[in-house]
A = this chain, B = another copy of it.
């Protein structure tokens, strides 16, 4: 960076370079797909999967663990309850799911950054959950709240990222029972993008709602969705009380939940694509139906987190064709249910932001866009099977998200796009670099990366033969140097801080 800066003080070329590497705080609107979805499964295959999923719910059922109230609710709705097993007669789950909205608005404190989730939209959110962080300088290490805050800043500054995210990484230096407060405070104060709530305890979900009431106002929160939170299903077919407790809190408060089977294929679901889709659909139907038992019309997302497995080692594998098939098929199932769909992300198994990481990630990002995903969690920064949030990979992936934005725009066919005058002007053997059409359109014609190297070999070599990771380190540093927080009413900030202080004082630290 310092090198690039020093060079930047030169002449006109330097000014141009400075302009094109200038940091922006702009956030692009939600991706509205102007390209068709890829649909790999036939109607017949989808019919079979739906019939089989109903069969699974009726015959095998699902388990709601340590949650007597849920069992009561299911009984009252017409399910057959034996112990903790809930068997759902054919048609019932689907009928209950019908009250879930097909799209909803997730509000940001900056109204320009509110997003509509569903339809042809695609909303992008950063990596979620890793206990470790990594960068080239510091290597792999346990994540801290300082790392978390740094990621929130990077997400805020990414033009292509719509959400500030949730648990971008686990701040392991803070007590387990209190860290959600600091994470939420970071999302609320360091960014003005929409964010996700805590799900690790029903009480923490309640804290999340209460902090939102301070930030947005109590009335606003009562009437609007201000959080979309991640409710994982304990696949196969198991709904634990922690996650369901959080879902109950959010659904009651009309806040959104992603109801998401968490599947390593061959371990938590059958090794076959159609078998996995059957289980995914059964699980999502049971989960979404349950959300509607809590509150009819509560906003939910049909989630699918799925990877394949390396049957030699048992390691999860990412960016694989089978994961692509499942991601694609689940999208078709979600659309048939009329629900927003969450899947795909910057998934990879690599330990470094190297070629493996990028192949795997690009495979998954592309399939996510083409499979009609509406909410892409983990859209940037994921490394090592989700154990690590990587700073360099975060900005590399976030940059690639720009390519998804542009891809989704589709192909204009108007007179300017037809460019017949340009073809006439240039003719055989000419070139288009200086022609009128090029002059008029070149600034917006082509997406360009803000991280990649496009220099001639000799220049690149002179400047240190930097690889993608090194270029990304420089970008991270530059973004963090340039960061400025969005404005926030100081009174709201004080109230948030007071709320947190009181909460923290009310209980001893726990690291369990």
- Interface residues of A, Cβ cutoff 8 Å to B: 16, 20, 35-36, 38-42, 44-45, 48, 52, 55-56, 59-63, 65, 85, 140, 234, 236-238, 265-276, 278-279, 308-315, 317, 319-322, 324-325, 329, 349-363, 366-367, 370, 384, 387, 393, 396, 400, 403-404, 406-407, 409-413, 416-420, 422-424, 426-433, 437-438, 441-443, 445-449, 451-457, 460-461, 465, 467-469, 471-472
Q: Given contacts A447-B321, A453-B350, are A278 and B423 in contact (CB under 8 A)?
A: yes
Which B residues are CB-close (under 8 A) to A449? 317, 356
Q: How far is the CA of A469 from the CA of B469 in the complex (A)?
A: 14
Other CB < 8 Å A-B pairs besides A272-B419, A354-B469, 16 of them? A36-B40, A56-B420, A59-B424, A236-B423, A236-B428, A236-B431, A268-B431, A271-B438, A274-B417, A278-B420, A314-B433, A321-B404, A352-B465, A358-B362, A366-B367, A370-B370
Does A438 contact B270, Cβ atoms closer than 8 Å?
Answer: yes
Across the interface, do B325 and A411 meet the contact criterion of CB distance under 8 Å? yes
Q: Which residues of B contact A428 (CB under 8 A)?
A: 60-63, 85, 236-238
Q: Is the CB of A416 within 8 A of B272?
A: yes
What residues of B have a CB within 8 angstroms of the CB of A319 in the complex?
362, 403
In the complex, A371 Cα to B361 Cα: how many Å? 20
Q: Is the CB of B358 within 8 A of A55?
A: no
Q: How far is the CA of A89 from the CA of B152 in the complex (A)?
A: 61
Measured CB to CB, the closest approach of chain B to A405, in angstroms, equals 8
Minimal beta-carbon separation of A283 from chain B (angstroms): 10
Q: How far is the CB of A134 from chain B (nearest CB, A)?
A: 10
Whole-angstrom distance from the CB of A497 to the nearest CB of chain B? 37
Residues of B within 8 A of A468 (CB): 350, 352, 354-357
Q: With A266-B438, A315-B456, A353-B355 given, is the CB distance from A320 to B418 under 8 Å?
A: no
CA gap between A276 and B419 in the complex, in Å: 8
Output the nearest chain B residue to A348 by Cβ-Cβ distance.
B452
4 closest Cβ pairs, A-B complex: A275-B419, A362-B362, A358-B358, A270-B419
Residues in B whose Cβ lies below 8 Å from that of A324: 407
B residues in contact with A62, CB < 8 Å: 428
Question: What are 13 of the A-B contact pairs (CB < 8 Å)?
Answer: A36-B38, A36-B39, A38-B370, A48-B413, A63-B429, A270-B423, A275-B437, A315-B456, A325-B407, A349-B454, A354-B467, A359-B359, A362-B362
From B271, B432, B472, give the contact of A271 (CB < 8 A).
B432
Given contacts A314-B433, A448-B312, contact A272 B417 (CB under 8 A): yes
Name the B residues within 8 Å of A268 (CB-CB): 431-432
Q: Please determine whether A411 and B266 come into contact, CB atoms closer than 8 angstroms.
A: no
In the assembly, what is the distance between CA of A313 and CA of B361, in Å? 27
Cβ contact within 8 Å between B454 and A423: no
A396 to B356, CA, bound (A): 8
CA distance in complex: A267, B433 (Å): 5
- Measured CB to CB, the closest approach of chain B to A276, in angstroms, equals 8
In the complex, the answer to whether B349 meets A460 with C-beta atoms within 8 Å is no
How distant is the Cα of A455 from the Cα of B351 in the complex, in angstroms?
Answer: 9
A366: chain B residues at CB < 8 Å are 362-363, 366-367
Query: In the complex, how many angstroms separate the beta carbon of A21 from the nearest chain B beta carbon?
Result: 10
How far apart are the CA atoms of A278 and B411 in the complex, in Å?
A: 13
> Which residues of the partner chain B approach A412 to less than 8 Å between Cβ atoms?
272-274
**Pick the contact of A418 from B63, B274, B311, B445 — CB < 8 Å?**
B274
What residues on B are CB-neighbors of A355 within 8 Å?
A: 353-355, 357-358, 393, 396, 467-469, 472
Q: Decide if B407 touches A45 in the complex (CB within 8 Å).
A: no
Chain B proximity of A380: nearest CB distance (Å): 12
Cβ of A270: which chain B residues have Cβ within 8 Å of it?
419, 422-423, 432, 437-438
Q: Which residues from chain B contact A426 at a C-beta distance below 8 Å?
A: 236
In the bound complex, residues from chain B placing their C-beta under 8 Å from that of A451 are 356
Chain B positions within 8 Å of A273 at CB level: 411-412, 417
Q: How far is the CB of A383 from chain B (nearest CB, A)?
A: 11
Q: Among the listed B310, B418, B442, B471, which residue makes an inter-chain contact with A278, where contact means beta carbons less than 8 Å apart?
A: B418
